[in-house]
Amino acid sequence: MKLSKVFVYMFFVASSIGAQEIPSTSDSPRVHITTTLGSFVIELNPNRAPFTVESFLQYAEEGHYEGTIFHRVIPGFLAQAGGYTEDLQVKLRERSVVNESGNGLSNLRGTIGLARTNDPHSGNAQFYINLDDNLDLNPRPTRWGYAVFGTVVEGMEVVDEIGHRPTGPQGHLARDVPTTAIVIEQVEILTQ
């Protein structure tokens, strides 16, 4: 992405920080995710997170998520997936996304956010689901936040079940890995 587009986008994001959430519309993509514990549906918000939604859908179309696990599960906080296979091998990602936090969407229970490292623009395929309201993940005037780009609209009880599974250190991952793998078996784009 050209630098000028990033600055234009950052202006758009900064000008919408105080905006309210946009209600879903019939053209908001929905994605059905089937795991070994059951399935859930997320509705994406391309109006507020266009780059993140586009990237997520591209990874889904490429089959990236099938065979990945929920590798970081912290009860009362979040469940994270999309980066590791069942044998804890990193699933390579080629693209990163400009940070779209500050888009008016908040890290509330049931929302989907883009995981990243300390580099604010390092998010790629890994996503997380908020198991509680996590307002500390939202941006502040002095720092970037974690971009929300969708919401669980069906099957939150499955996500809650994922959040209650026992965890511990596994392989090279230090902690918070479910002791029994929770595998994403299928990701199906329902509407686009």
Q: What are the CB-based long-range contacts (under 8 Å, 24+) for 133-140?
A: 133/106, 133/107, 133/108, 133/109, 134/77, 134/78, 134/107, 134/108, 135/106, 135/107, 136/107, 137/107, 137/113, 138/101, 138/106, 138/107, 139/17, 139/101, 139/102
Task: State the pLDDT at residue 19.
Answer: 38
What value does the mean pLDDT take over residues 2-12?
A: 41
| Confidence at residue 167, expressed as pLDDT on a 0 to 100 scale | 96
Please report the pLDDT score of residue 27 as a whole number. 77
Whole-number pLDDT of residue 180: 96
| CATH number of this structure's domain 33-191 | 2.40.100.10
**In this predicted structure, what is the pLDDT of residue 93?**
80
Domain ranges of the chain: 33-191
| Of 1-10, 48-57, 82-91, 118-127, the least confident | 1-10
